[in-house]
Amino acid sequence: MKTYKIELQFTDPYIGSRNGGNKIIAESLTLKQAQKQLLDLFNDKTEHYTLTWAEAKRKTKRFVDSATGRQSSSRFSFDGRIYKITPQN
């Protein structure tokens, strides 16, 4: 069974170094679990509350901080940080 992780990457090295650098937020997740956790993070971090990832992409498509991707490549950027789902090795 393929597993996934949610990663946090900083787009600004200064902010990243102040916050301990890039991190793995969660690992050993199924794709559904990873998608749910990423959507929960999106709802917690942004001013947009959505029930689905498609709705998140639709609501943020005009903004720099936006939700993109589908299934195992879902990601969103917020406040100099990128939260994304990646396959776990």
pLDDT class of 83 with cuts at 50, 70, 90: very high
* CA-angle at 25, arms to 5 and 87, nearest 5°: 10
Tell me, what's the pLDDT at 78? 87
Residue 78 CA neighbour count, 13 Å, CB half: 18
pLDDT class of 61 with cuts at 50, 70, 90: confident
Alpha carbon distance, N-terminus to C-terminus of the chain? 11
Q: Give tens-digit pLDDT for 11-40.
A: 988 889 999 999 999 999 999 999 999 999
CA distance readout (Å), 21 to 7, 10, 50, 73: 11, 7, 28, 21
Domain residues for the domain of 18 are 4-87
Q: For the chain, what is the domain count?
A: 1
| Residue 64: pLDDT over 60 | no
